Amino acid sequence: MFRTALPFAAVLTLLLAACTSSPSSANDPAAADAAAPAQTTAPVADASKRCDAANAQSAIGQTASQEVVDKVVADSGSGSSRVIKPGQAVTMDFREDRVNIEVDAANVVTAVRCG
């Protein structure tokens, strides 16, 4: 029993060691950046910006074209935005610099909210 368990334990140890990062890459920002996956979410443009959706309510009823979205961002003072379509999954995190533009199936703005 011991003879079969020893090679298994050795292989398991090697597999687990391969899953950990090396200390040199943990301390080297260039190595960490090379190993990091591409960023898929928009970075916070300016954390000092705060959304005020009251100033952008005029977009309701308009088609959510790029010009309308840009105007909502400018009018609300937001640092970022997202257009939310019906049934679309979104994160529930609250970001005070983001404006949410909700649209219907015809891409018409139905609500403008911060978060």
- Tell me the CATH number at 110: 3.30.10.10
Question: Are 59 and 104 part of one and the same domain?
Answer: yes
- Are the C-beta atoms of residues 103 and 90 closer than 8 Å to each other? no
Percent of the chain with pLDDT over 70: 58
Residue 43 is assigned to a structural domain of this protein? no
Q: Average pLDDT for residues 38-48, to the nearest whole number?
A: 47
8 found inside a domain? yes
**What is residue 91's predicted lDDT score, i.e. its pLDDT?**
93
The domain in which residue 8 lies consists of 2-35
42 part of a folded domain? no
The answer to whether residues 59 and 107 belong to one domain is yes
pLDDT at 75 over 60: yes
- Give the chain's domain count: 2
| % of the chain beyond a pLDDT of 90 | 57
Does some domain include residue 41?
no
Over residues 23-42, the pLDDT tens digits come to 544 455 444 444 433 333 44
User: Is residue 98 included in any domain, yes or no?
Assistant: yes
- Enter the pTM of the model: 0.59
Residue 7 maps to a domain:
yes
User: Mean per-residue pLDDT for 33-62?
Assistant: 68
> What is the average per-residue pLDDT within 66-86?
96
Q: Considering the domain boundaries, does residue 72 fall inside one?
A: yes
